[in-house]
Amino acid sequence: MYAAAGRWDHVEKVRQRIRKKGVKKVASYSSVEFNGQLHVLYGGDRFHPHSASIYEKLDELIKQLKSIVYVPKTGSVLHDVEMEEKEASLRTHSEKLAIALGLINVSSESPIRVMKNLRICDYCHTFSKFTSKITMRQIIMREKSRFHHFKDGICSCKDFW
């Protein structure tokens, strides 16, 4: 809440207390299945065997999205950093990597099914909607508390989750 309000001094105090108590965040990950194998990806993951092609596909998608006036929502980055750093941070969320891997490997007749261990952020939700539109693919995402079915640039949740 403090980060969303831009109260960075309070954010740092809370983070210090969290560190002092030894509380650890759960790492965000997403998975996608194809060819009978489950592929798990973490945010910023560079260790996956298909990492190079995943990032190449992701860069291609982002260029296409920006060409249709897609402006990333960076409000979900809860750190006091510049806009370029926020975009870079959001660029490699696990669900984006899973979608890129799915686009490369899942047949075009099948939907891309992504499982996510945490809630999807605004940026990734918007990214998924636009990606479904420009690729003409269905993306079904199971997140912590619900399913999202992205098709033709629209989500089944009607942007309320």
Task: Provide the whole-model pTM.
Answer: 0.82
pLDDT single digits (tens) 118-145: 999 988 999 999 999 999 999 999 998 8
What span, in angstroms and rounded, lies between the C-alpha atoms of 92 and 47?
Answer: 13
pLDDT single digits (tens) 68-87: 765 555 554 455 545 566 56
Radius of gyration of the chain (CA): 16
Q: Is 121 in contact with 76 (CB distance < 8 Å)?
A: yes
pLDDT single digits (tens) 81-113: 455 665 666 789 999 999 999 999 999 999 999
